[in-house]
Amino acid sequence: MKLQDTGLTAQELKDMVNKYMIETYPRYDFIAERAEGMYLYDEKGEAYLDFYGGVAVNSPGNRNPKVVAAVKEQVDDIMHTFNYPYTVPQALLAKKICDTIGMDKIFYQNSGTEANECMIKMARKYGIENYGPDRYEIITAKEGFHGRTMGAVAATGQPGTAIQEDFGPMLPGFTYAEYNNLNDFASKVTPNTIAIMIEPVQGEGGVHPATEEFMSGLRKLCDDHDMLLLLDEVQTGWGRTGSPMAFMGYGVKPDAISMAKAMGGGMPIAACCASEKVAKAFSSGTHGSTYGGHPVACAAALASISEILDRHLSENAEQVGNYLIRKLSKLPHVREARGKGLLVGCEYELPIAMDVKWGCMKRHALITAIGTDINRMIPPLIADRKDVDRLVDIMQEAVEEAAANYIRKNRVA
């Protein structure tokens, strides 16, 4: 739907949003009307280079033609049904995912936080059924992020932030340990611990990849204590970090894994995959979802995942991501550029990340900010070196402008 079809002006539409919607997002001052490949287009037809990727969702490219075609074809057949009859898209997608990543079972959900809730519930039920009523505790990482529902909020290791503050009391059973610190995780293990749950790359926590030693050490720690290793791959899954799923690049296999975002290529869908022994914790009536496994979303996901695999977009993510890190590291005032694949963070010596974000938007490039000093880039996986070069040129202007303003205001030498 386009603005011109409504009879409204751009300001009238924005006023309508301000009047009726509960706003928790700082809005960009344009209306996103159309998308194609690496670009979003506003109501005036002006293009914005998209290194936001719908927050790591549009991995096969904005409005990927095969995803669009799959959605249109499925809508002509059936849009929704309850989860009692079999449907073709559910079955084909389940096989595609489980065969590709080497997991046994899948449960469909609608969003990343729901997939994490599913994984948490499955782990707790597995622990209680197999070890007794007290074996339900889970260790997660400080500065991690697992979603916005109450279980996922409790699992998020950010007490005192807006994510948890004033939403208490938190769901009991979670302990936080320092990311990439195997000794700290080991010190938090008790007889009641059933699982360790982390992100392979902490996205919202500042774009910090897990080290190979940490990941393999967690696997051994879990094996030694009869615990489960749970991986939140909502953001890292499906090509983002240089392999189909991030865990595959570490040579470590989890007992359960969550996924969302890139999975649907723009349609809302998520899932939790698990080994046979863990999946047995769920039986009739123990978990459910009205929209989970929605036929249209499954058809889109099948097309999205096929595009990512068939076009080797995970390999492209690794190559272009490394190039992006090298280019960002040469920008002024950059303390460190880091990441894995096309999940990249740029940390500054000055608290200018928010101003850089808005400066890039003003210059028609879209990135995000984490806190005061980190920008994050999570573009479609079709990004190439020319896209990177254009982005970095824009970022250089935005960084120089933001730094000059900060230094002038604070009289920093």
How high is the mean pLDDT in each 10-residue block of the chain (413 residues)?
Answer: 94 96 92 97 97 96 97 96 94 98 98 98 98 98 96 95 93 97 98 98 94 98 98 98 97 97 97 97 94 97 98 98 98 97 98 98 97 97 98 98 94 60
If you count them, how many residues does the chain have? Answer: 413
370 membership: H or E segment, kind and range: strand 368-370
Cα–Cα separations (whole angstroms), residue 156 to 143, 175, 183, 245, 386: 7, 10, 20, 21, 37
Q: Regarding beta strands 365-366 and 47-50, do their DSSP bridges make them parallel or antiparallel, or are they unpaired?
A: parallel
Which residue ranges make up each domain of the chain?
3-60+312-410, 65-310
Q: What is the CATH number of domain 3-60+312-410?
A: 3.90.1150.10
Instruction: List beta partners, residue 315.
Output: none
For 351-383, what is each residue's pLDDT tens digit? Answer: 999 999 999 999 999 999 999 999 999 999 999
Query: To 5 degrees, how large is the angle CA 48–CA 22–CA 35?
Result: 20
Per-residue model confidence (pLDDT) at position 94: 98
**Amino acid 42: pLDDT:** 96
Q: How far is CA 285 from CA 84, 98, 399, in A?
A: 13, 23, 54
Q: List Cβ neighbours of 27 (8 Å cut-off, separation of 6 or more).
A: 14, 17
Sheet holding 368-370, edge to edge: 334-340, 343-348, 374-377, 368-370
The reported pLDDT for the residue numbered 412 is 52
Q: H or E element: which one contains 39?
A: strand 39-42
Which tokens belong to 93?
């997608």
**Domain range 65-310, CATH class:** alpha beta
pLDDT of 411 reads: 79
Say which amino acid occupies 312.
H
pTM for this entry: 0.95
pLDDT digits (tens, 9 = 90+) for 160-180: 999 999 999 999 999 999 999
- Same-fold call for 3-60+312-410 versus 65-310: no
Kindly state the DSSP code that residue 325 receives in the 8-state scheme: H
Give the pLDDT score at 25. 87
Contact 360, 28 (CB under 8 A): no
